[in-house]
Structures are given as C-alpha cells and as structure tokens.
C-alpha cells in the first residue's frame, strides 16, 4: 500500500508535483498515467525516498521509505533500466543488491532464471539490449520478493515479445495479491494492463478511479455510420437533436443516438447504409479529453528543445543518463 | 512517527545490518575493473618513480655537491614518487561514487540502501580498507625497490633507521586517507572530471601555489596545506618548514573528516 498526502515537489519556480493525493492498494495493477513531464517519475522517486518532497508526505506500508533498513523486502522498483554500472556483470549487480538487504545468494540465481538472463548473467551489463536491461532491472525488483512493485515506463522501447512478457508478469504479480504501480504515457498499454488508474497532468492528480469508470466518465460512445447518401442522412439525424460530426472518410459520428435508431431513420427514408455500428470510447479518448489542458509540451509548438526548468522526467525517452 | 496504520502487515519489517551494507560495498568495489586498474596505475607510478629517481640519484652521485648528497634520506625517492602518484589513489576514491552518479546506479543503490549515512560510511570504510592494504604494499614496495637501486652506490638505508618504518607505514595510511577524502569530494561534486580536477588541485596545485607564497605567513600557510601536512609523515625527521609527522597526518585526517562530513550532510539532504 502506497499512500500520498499533499505530496508536492518544486524545482525552483516550477512545480513538478502539486499536492498529489492518492492511494495504491494491493491485488490490482494501478496504472500511473500522464503525459511526458507530468510528474510521474518525480512522484515515484519521492515514494522511494530518492527525492525529498517540498511538502506533503508519502508512505509505503505506513512508513517513510528511508526508514526501511531492508527495503527490497517491501518494495521492488524499476525506475530506469540503465541505472546500473555497465562494467559489472548482471550477476554481480544483483549480488550487491541482495547482500545489502541480507538476501541469500541463491535468490540471485532464482531471479536471473525468472527473467531469463541465465546465458548472459556473467557478462557486463553495458552490452545488454534495452530489453535485457529491463529484465535485469525487474530481476532486481523481484529480489526481495516484495509485496509492492513499482515500474516506471517499463515497456518503453521494448519489442512486442518483451512488452507481452512484462504485461503478463505485472498481471501475475497483482493476482498474487501484490501492489503493482506502473507508470506509462502509453494509453494503449495501460488499457490492457491496468485495473485502476491514477491520472496525472502537470503535477496534479486528475483522477484516481477504476479503468472502466474513468473511460465512462471522460468519453462517450458514438454511432458510426457510413453511407453514399450522407448529404441526405445528416440533416435527418441533426433534426432529432443529436450531435452529428462528419469524418473525412465519408462517415458520420452520431452522439447520443443508438445504432437501431439511426438504422431505422435511414430505412424510413430509403437511405442506403454501408456501415453502422457503435464505437466504444477508448482510454485514449478519455485521457485526451481529461488532459487536454494539461499536456505540457504540445507537439508542433515552437518550444526550445529543453525549456529552462524542465524537470528531469521531461527528458524524452532514451535521453536518460541524467545525474 | 507515522500514525498511519498499515493494513495488517503479514510479516514484521525485515532488518538488514550495517554489515550487510558493508558486504554489498565490498562486492561492489571488487566487481568493477576500474578498481584494479587504478590501483595498478598508482602502484606503477609510485614504485616506478621511486626506482627512477633513485637511479637518477645514484648515476649522477659523483657529480653532486656534498650539500646535495646530504639531502638524501632513505625515504626521499618514495616521497618524490608519492608526490606524483598519490593523485591516482584519489581518482579511485572519486570513481567509487561518481561512476554511480554517472551511470544512474546511485538511484538503484539508494533504493536498496536508503539509509544514506550507512551507505556513505560503508563506502568510506571499504574504500579506506582496500586502499590501506594496497597503499601499504605500494609504500613498502616503493621503499624496498628504491633502496635496492640506491645500493649500487651504497646509499641505501633500512627500515630500522630512525623514523623510516614510521614513514613507510604512514605512507600507506596517507594513501588510504587520500582515497577517502576524494570519495567525499566525489560525493559533493558528483561528476568524475570535476572531482578529479578538484582532488588534483587539493593534492598537487595547492602545494605548488604554497611554495610561492611570500614571507613568514606564506611558510606557515604552506605547511598547513593538505598535501604538505599529509606528506610530513613521509619524512623520517621533521624538516624545519614542515609539521611534525603525526601532527601533519592527523591534520590531513581532520581535513578528510571535514570533507566527508560536509559531503554526508549534503548527501542526506539533496535529491539523488
């Protein structure tokens, strides 16, 4: 269980995390969703005691992280797959971590087997691919068999096989009753992984709710209709008081109507339909609607590449290696 | 402190001792190649320079004035070699922490060992221990090799000569302190290049600047400079412009402690 109360982090004049309140509970995958630079990584670093909150408080199982003498038994975290000394072998890297928390050596072999790194375990990790680095980071997170797991953008840059592997792993960990807290800016990924969402934008928590509830609350379904006689159909639908929008591919989006109603109207007026169906809203739409105003760096705007005062987690993926 | 009750914690919070952290840091320092290479480089420079200087002295002995001949102490080659080689042991101290910052490993480390005081103390102890052993080997080797060369002109001394054994043992301690001070500098600055430059300035440049300071106060300041204070231990006697051996080394240890304490305070407060 992770609990944040009024958690705030300021870097100079810039507020990276702004009075965040949320709770992450066991037994489900909680997605931490937000655009790049929204404060996800900063929040995670504060949970792990790496960064000090400017105000507010965050606890893990009722304690501050820095009070734990052997935290790997409580929390396993993958913040940055590249946060290892490249000259050290994967095995020795995990051994250092295990020893610091009094974890026996055989557990190192276990987690290496668990993530499938046996063949490269004795090699320096600097030669690892991103996927292998991610697996090494996850092996480290699993060392102490912790009840809480945190992953920061775990699928970034992974190939489909790696993504599927991580997705399955996170679901399994949650089904074992563990707390799984995973951040991502990839809606599609969250939609298939997370049961619960904490949504952050510009440092503020915008939602802390179930996945289905979130989509229902923030986006509406619509009827998609395609016809060679759209010009005739559109005024008929609009006349019923429904909001109608036309798509460039010669289809209409009808909000507030059922597909049966639209089909009946077409039939009554002998209008041929080529397609008719309900479109369920996606997490993406819900998210876009919610965060419309909070996206930090809109594409296409003539922003300097790294605006002054950019929090470290605004660095684009792959631009890591920050001190 | 925290009143918030965790929902029925299944197992009590597990403990790890300072010994666990020490063991972890021990494994860390032994499992990167830079440790071995830096120590080897330091050894080659110190032992090599002392042999070279001894060779230069013996081969030109016949042309030297009696005054120059009289300046030779058994530890003189070692002292001169330390002057050039000690910085390398500082580089090791710097690398122990700055490579963690450079690679991001520091965040992984502090996630596993969030008690930063323990973490830095374990690093300092392990580093100090490793360099103390290596430094003793280097110091003794440097002494014996240079004496072997000086033997050609029958100029060699022995560990039994007054103050010599203390100088050679002190040399090993001095190298360990240099490494630990450099660890503090690296913790403060976090970047390898900047920290190496800072250590170089402290150990090398400051000493040169000190030599150019004018007058009586200049002399006084000069002997309190870190490298001059620390190097006092390398002389069998106490030259007039120097602190006494143990006072000098003690002062250097104090400087080291100050750097380390400042580093720890900031390390505790600042974001990793």
pLDDT, tens only, B168-189: 999 999 999 999 999 999 999 9
pLDDT at residue A257 tops 90: no
Per-residue pLDDT band at A301 (split at 50, 70, 90): very low
Percent of chain A with pLDDT over 70: 90
**Strands (E) located in chain B:** none
Residues of chain B numbered 76-115 and touching chain A (CB < 8 Å): 99-115
Q: Which CATH number fits domain A2-74+146-217: 3.40.190.10, 2.40.30.10, 3.40.50.300, 3.20.10.10?
A: 3.40.50.300
- Per CB-CB distance under 8 Å, the chain A contacts of B14 are 69-70, 73, 101-102
Q: Which two tokens stand for residue B257?
A: 């402690």
- When the pLDDT of each residue in chain A is averaged and rounded to a whole number, the result is 87
Residues of chain B numbered 203-232 and touching chain A (CB < 8 Å): none
Chain A to chain B Cβ contacts (< 8 Å): 141
Smallest Cα distance from A145 to chain B, Å: 12
What gap in Å lies between CA B195 and CA A73, rounded to an integer?
35
pLDDT at residue A259 tops 70: yes
A14-24 and A29-33 strand pairing: unpaired
**Cβ-based neighbours of A282, under 8 Å, separated by 6 or more:** A187, A191, A215, A219
CB atoms within 10 A of CB B144: 17
Cβ–Cβ of A102/B16 closer than 8 Å? yes
Higher pLDDT among residues A24 and A212, named by residue: A24
Smallest Cα distance from B97 to chain A, Å: 11
Q: Is A194 helix (H, G, I), strand (E, B) or coil?
A: coil
Per-residue pLDDT band at B252 (split at 50, 70, 90): very high
Cβ-nearest to B108 among A49, A89, A140 = A140
Cβ–Cβ of B114/A66 closer than 8 Å? yes
- Per CB-CB distance under 8 Å, the chain B contacts of A86 are 103
B4 to chain A: closest CA residue: A62
Are A47 and A65 in contact, with CB atoms under 8 Å apart? Answer: yes
A149 φ/ψ angles, rounded to the nearest 5 degrees: -125, 135
What gap in Å lies between CA B256 and CA B264, rounded to an integer?
12
Cβ-nearest to A100 among B15, B21, B33 = B21
A147-151, A284-288, B101-105, B254-258: the lowest-pLDDT one: A284-288
pLDDT at residue B3 tops 70: no
What gap in Å lies between CA B143 and CA B51, rounded to an integer?
9
Q: Is B226 helix (H, G, I), strand (E, B) or coil?
A: helix
- Predicted pLDDT of residue A294: 55
Q: Domain spans of chain A?
A: 2-74+146-217, 221-279
What gap in Å lies between CA A68 and CA A61, rounded to an integer?
10
DSSP class of residue B203? I
Cβ–Cβ of A71/B111 closer than 8 Å? yes
Cβ–Cβ of B20/A321 closer than 8 Å? no
A124 to chain B: closest CA residue: B32
- Predicted pLDDT of residue B9: 43
A52 to chain B: closest CA residue: B271
What gap in Å lies between CA B64 and CA B72, rounded to an integer?
11
Cβ–Cβ of A62/B112 closer than 8 Å? no
Higher pLDDT among residues A314 and A89, named by residue: A89
Cβ–Cβ of B13/A88 closer than 8 Å? no
B146-152 CB contacts, 8 Å cutoff, 24+ apart? B146/B50, B146/B51, B146/B53, B146/B54, B146/B77, B146/B78, B146/B81, B147/B54, B147/B74, B149/B51, B149/B54, B149/B55, B149/B58, B149/B77, B150/B54, B150/B57, B150/B58, B150/B72, B150/B74, B150/B77, B152/B58
Cβ–Cβ of A83/B107 closer than 8 Å? yes
- Predicted pLDDT of residue A321: 36
B33 to chain A: closest CA residue: A87
Residues of chain B numbered 108-167 and touching chain A (CB < 8 Å): 108-116
- Per CB-CB distance under 8 Å, the chain A contacts of B190 are 323
- Predicted pLDDT of residue A282: 77
**Cβ-based neighbours of B78, under 8 Å, separated by 6 or more:** B46, B50, B139, B142, B143, B146, B167, B168, B171, B234
- Per CB-CB distance under 8 Å, the chain A contacts of B10 are 147
A148-152 and A179-184 strand pairing: parallel
Rounded to two decimals, the ipTM of the complex is 0.89
- Per CB-CB distance under 8 Å, the chain B contacts of A72 are 111-112
B109 to chain A: closest CA residue: A97
Segment B5-49, tens digit of pLDDT: 334 444 556 778 999 999 999 999 999 999 999 999 999 999 999
A54 φ/ψ angles, rounded to the nearest 5 degrees: -70, -35
What gap in Å lies between CA B43 and CA B138, rounded to an integer?
6
Q: Is B27 on the interface with A (CB under 8 A)?
A: yes
Q: Which two tokens stand for residue A216?
A: 């229902």
What gap in Å lies between CA A54 and CA A14, rounded to an integer?
12
B202 φ/ψ angles, rounded to the nearest 5 degrees: -60, -45
**Cβ-based neighbours of A223, under 8 Å, separated by 6 or more:** A253, A254, A255, A257, A258, A259, A262, A276, A277, A278, A279
Higher pLDDT among residues A286 and B12, named by residue: A286
Cβ–Cβ of B103/A82 closer than 8 Å? yes
Sheet-wide strand order for A275-279 = A243-247, A251-255, A222-226, A275-279
B104 φ/ψ angles, rounded to the nearest 5 degrees: 90, -5
The CA-based angle B144-B174-B201, given to 5 degrees, is 115
Cβ–Cβ of A52/B23 closer than 8 Å? no
What gap in Å lies between CA A205 and CA B113, rounded to an integer?
29
Q: Which CATH number fits domain A221-279: 3.40.50, 1.10.287, 1.10.1660, 3.30.70?
A: 3.30.70
- Predicted pLDDT of residue A303: 42
Stretch A126-134: mean pLDDT, rounded? 91
- Predicted pLDDT of residue A298: 52
pLDDT at residue A291 tops 80: no
Between the two ends of chain B, the Cα-to-Cα distance in Å is 24
A251-255 and A222-226 strand pairing: antiparallel
pLDDT at residue B57 tops 80: yes
- Predicted pLDDT of residue A309: 44
A243-257, B39-53, B188-202: the lowest-pLDDT one: A243-257
Scan for tokens 């460039």, then name that residue.
A248
Question: How would you classify residue A241: left for phi > 0, otherwise alpha for psi between -120 and 50, otherwise beta?
Answer: left
Segment A159-202, tens digit of pLDDT: 888 899 999 999 999 999 999 999 988 877 888 889 999 999 88
- Per CB-CB distance under 8 Å, the chain A contacts of B120 are none
Distances (CA, A) of A186 to A191, A194, B156: 9, 12, 74
- In chain A, alpha helices (H): 40-47, 90-100, 105-115, 130-142, 160-175, 187-193, 211-218, 230-239, 259-268, 283-291
pLDDT at residue A319 tops 60: no
Segment B125-162, tens digit of pLDDT: 999 999 999 999 999 999 999 999 999 989 999 999 99
pLDDT at residue A281 tops 70: yes
CB atoms within 10 A of CB B137: 14
Cβ–Cβ of B2/A63 closer than 8 Å? yes
Cβ–Cβ of B111/A68 closer than 8 Å? no
Between the two ends of chain A, the Cα-to-Cα distance in Å is 29
Stretch B51-70: mean pLDDT, rounded? 93
The b-or-e profile of A120-140 (16+ CB within 10 A means b, else e) is bbeebbeebeebbbbbbbbbb
- Predicted pLDDT of residue B12: 56
Higher pLDDT among residues B216 and B12, named by residue: B216
pLDDT at residue A138 tops 60: yes
Cβ–Cβ of B4/A3 closer than 8 Å? yes
């Amino acid at each position: 269980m992770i609990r944040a109360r009024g958690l705030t982090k300021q870097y100079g004049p810039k507020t990276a995390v702004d009075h965040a309140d949320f709770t992450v509970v066991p037994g489900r995958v909680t997605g931490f969703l937000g655009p790049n630079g929204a404060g996800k990584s900063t929040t995670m670093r504060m949970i792990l005691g790496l960064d000090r909150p400017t105000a507010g408080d965050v606890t893990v199982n009722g304690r501050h992280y820095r009070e734990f003498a052997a935290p790997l038994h409580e929390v396993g975290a993958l913040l940055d797959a590249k946060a290892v000394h490249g000259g050290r072998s994967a095995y020795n890297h995990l051994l250092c971590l295990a020893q610091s928390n009094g974890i026996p050596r055989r557990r190192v072999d276990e987690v290496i087997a668990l993530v499938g790194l046996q063949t490269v375990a004795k090699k320096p990790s600097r030669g690892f691919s991103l996927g292998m680095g991610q697996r090494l980071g996850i092996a480290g997170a699993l060392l102490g068999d912790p009840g809480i797991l945190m992953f920061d953008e775990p699928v970034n840059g992974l190939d489909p096989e790696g993504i599927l592997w991580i997705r399955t792993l996170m679901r399994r960990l949650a089904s074992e009753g563990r707390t799984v807290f995973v951040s991502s800016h990839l809606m599609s990924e969250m939609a298939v992984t997370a049961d619960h969402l904490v949504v952050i934008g510009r440092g503020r928590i915008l939602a802390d709710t179930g996945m289905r509830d979130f989509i229902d609350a923030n986006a509406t379904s619509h009827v998609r209709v395609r016809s060679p006689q759209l010009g005739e159909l559109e005024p008929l639908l609009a006349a019923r008081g429904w909001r109608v929008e036309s798509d460039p591919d010669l289809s209409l989006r009808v909000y507030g109507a059922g597909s049966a109603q639209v089909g009946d109207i077409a039939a009554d007026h002998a209008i041929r339909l080529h397609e008719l169906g309900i479109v369920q809203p996606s997490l993406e739409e819900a998210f876009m609607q919610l965060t419309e105003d909070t996206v930090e760096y809109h594409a296409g705007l003539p922003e300097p590449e790294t605006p002054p005062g950019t929090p470290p987690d605004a660095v684009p993926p792959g631009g890591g290696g920050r001190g | 402190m925290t009143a918030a009750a965790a929902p029925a914690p299944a197992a009590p919070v597990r403990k790890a001792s300072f010994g666990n952290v020490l063991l972890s840091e021990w494994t860390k320092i032994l499992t990167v190649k830079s440790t071995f290479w830096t120590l080897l480089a330091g050894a080659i420079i110190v032992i090599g320079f002392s042999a070279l200087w001894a060779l230069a002295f013996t081969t030109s002995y016949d042309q030297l004035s009696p005054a120059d001949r009289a300046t030779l102490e058994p530890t003189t080659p070692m002292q001169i070699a330390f002057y050039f080689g000690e910085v390398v042991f500082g580089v090791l101290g710097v690398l122990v922490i700055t490579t963690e910052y450079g690679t991001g490993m520091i965040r992984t480390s502090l996630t596993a060992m969030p008690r930063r005081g323990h973490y830095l103390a374990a690093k300092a102890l392990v580093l100090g221990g490793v360099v103390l052993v290596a430094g003793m080997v280097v110091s003794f080797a440097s002494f014996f090799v240079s004496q072997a060369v000086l033997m050609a002109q029958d100029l060699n001394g022995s560990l039994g000569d007054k103050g010599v054994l203390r100088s050679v043992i002190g040399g090993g301690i001095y190298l360990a302190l240099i490494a630990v001070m450099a660890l503090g500098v690296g913790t403060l600055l976090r970047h390898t290049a900047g920290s190496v430059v800072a250590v170089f300035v402290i150990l090398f440049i400051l000493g040169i600047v000190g030599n150019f300071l004018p007058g009586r106060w200049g002399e006084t300041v000069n002997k309190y400079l870190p490298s001059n204070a620390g190097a006092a231990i390398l002389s069998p006697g106490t030259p007039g412009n120097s602190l006494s051996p143990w006072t000098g080394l003690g002062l250097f240890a104090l400087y080291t402690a100050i750097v380390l304490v400042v580093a720890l305070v900031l390390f505790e407060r600042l974001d990793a």
